[in-house]
Chains A and B, each alone.
Chain A
């Protein structure tokens, strides 16, 4: 794709979403907006998986751990300081640091893809086990009891930085979440046009060759992993403040597989695809939930299976293929 095409796409996507963002509160009732906010939060989480796995080619099957660390950091710091600003900062710092340490072990050990998948999965399970067992007075961080299986309730909502008294309402929360998604998306797109992004994509295609050209793939993969963790952490903090509640289920395998499905359905290697897939599939799952006809787990599994078997490239690339083929067909006539 040419540079101009890239730019048009980014500007188009961001512009259209900006309009949707501004107009949405006028067209949706409060509950609809509230519901849609969490879809966008999870779309942001899916974006981290899309970047790490789709763009960077790192088989991370445990992005939920960064989401969860971000959520718990938000919960603990916001309650402790009484100001959600610290919580949001913490939800970037802690997942980032943890990803750097874990990523060091993974990438500097030159561990192969399958091991990366299993290790990331195992570590997020470790968090699930730990937080599930963290009930009782012995388990408190900064004076905030972790609450074990039941999690931490009554989290403060987002507030204007430095002013804990003025908390954000439903539509303000919507604007914050939506503009964060757009900002992260635009930043990632911009990054992909720079040298760093090009090296990251090149490593996905052929790590050895990139190494031969004098780049250190380990460093770039580590950086990709950390950036993905920052995004997931931010999404985690929004998730916690949205529901006012956090529990160990954020670390569960279902949480990780959910975003894997969105990326797979939306298309590996694209960023818009997973975002759209995340929103569409969540609407589908919640619709199925209200119908009580299909179990959401069952639905998620079916979608995953169908896509791996029938459309392994995902929706966006499949549609693009059709489009180019149609265009070529017309050119030949």
Chain B
């Protein structure tokens, strides 16, 4: 019984982590059609901002929920203005350029802070289910992910900003003709996506540890979730995460975490083969 509860909890945690680490791509790839291979490094920067600001004595929740997204959003603005804006529409080139950014960021952070793991103490305590200890922080992570996911959906569904972004991505010329500043929409959308990656990195930091190449673990799974999700980015990543995470968790439970990962990736390849357009492939592009 307890084992069942633990597995169920881990499945939710897995979905939460996957959703959290994928939302940024749902915005940057789903809306803007940019393959951001520096996604993992945006997360890494978020994690480092949390580590750095808490070491200066800032409250950890403020660091995670406000400072990390803000710092990475600002870095996102700089990267969009200096690099990405020259590459819109050249999808393979954006992939290569952001890969370059990713290496550059890893190199810079390694040079600045060294190539070792910085631990952050997990806030909140833990409770036990049977023999298993569960930290309250992982519960908080699940809650934060779903609140953020709902918030993202609400922004695109109900606000004027969301409507303008979707309109601009769908028909850039028409939006510009109606007096919308295209460049500003692009930069703001990219900043939103980068900020979400920063949030993800900040939230993951106390669990995963902070080190320069920490983003690599998440990036492939995040991309797979977005690609499997298909054109309706937000619904897509939610369904994809709910399919992939349980496979990985059950695989880890039955054999080892490596088997879990391999099961996840295998399922992903089969899904892409069966549904090349993604789960929401029949939905119109830029639906939610």
Contact = CB atoms under 8 A, between A and B. Distances in A.
Interface string A104-142: 010001111111011101110110011011000000000
Interface in A128-159: 129-130, 132-133
B265 interface: yes
A111 B258 contact: no
Interface stretch (A6-14, A212-220, A293-301): A293-301
Interface stretch (B56-64, B89-97, B123-131, B134-142): B89-97
B223 A118 contact: yes
Interface string A57-82: 00101000000000000000000000
Nearest to B278: A115
B258 A302 contact: no
Contact of A301 (B100, B216, B224, B256): B100
Contact of A295 (B92, B96, B110): B110
Interface stretch (B143-151, B168-176, B237-245, B268-276): B268-276
B92 A117 contact: yes
Given A113-B92, A115-B227, A309 B83 contact: yes
Contacts of B256: 133
Residues of B in contact with A, size category: 35 or more
Contacts of A164: none
A115 B272 contact: yes
B220 A122 contact: yes
A305 B269 contact: no
Interface residues of A, number: 43
Interface stretch (B7-15, B101-109, B184-192): B101-109
Contacts of A306: 100
Interface in B211-236: 216, 220, 223-224, 227
Given A299-B107, A304-B103, A109 B276 contact: yes
B103 A300 contact: yes
A308 interface: yes
B111 A298 contact: yes
B261 A129 contact: yes
A304 B93 contact: no
A308 B103 CA distance: 14
A332 to B, nearest CB: 33
Contacts of A38: none
A257 interface: yes
B73 to A, nearest CB: 21
Interface string B243-264: 0000000000000111001100
Contacts of B103: 254, 257, 297-298, 300-301, 304
Interface string B76-90: 000000010011000
Contacts of A119: 269, 272
A312 interface: yes
A255 interface: no
Contacts of A299: 107
Given A133-B258, A312-B93, A305 B220 contact: no
B156 interface: no
Contacts of A210: none
B99 interface: yes
Given A109-B272, A304-B96, A123 B265 contact: yes
Given A117-B95, A125-B220, A297-B110, A308 B261 contact: no
Nearest to A256: B99
Given A301-B103, A309-B86, A295 B220 contact: no
Contact of B104 (A113, A125, A298): A298
Nearest to B274: A109
Given A118-B223, A122-B220, A122-B269, A308 B276 contact: no
A300 B96 CA distance: 12
Given A297-B106, A302-B100, A122 B224 contact: yes
A277 to B, nearest CB: 15
22 contacts: A109-B273, A109-B276, A113-B91, A115-B227, A115-B272, A122-B220, A123-B269, A125-B220, A129-B258, A257-B99, A295-B110, A296-B107, A298-B108, A298-B110, A301-B101, A301-B104, A302-B100, A303-B100, A304-B100, A305-B83, A308-B100, A309-B86
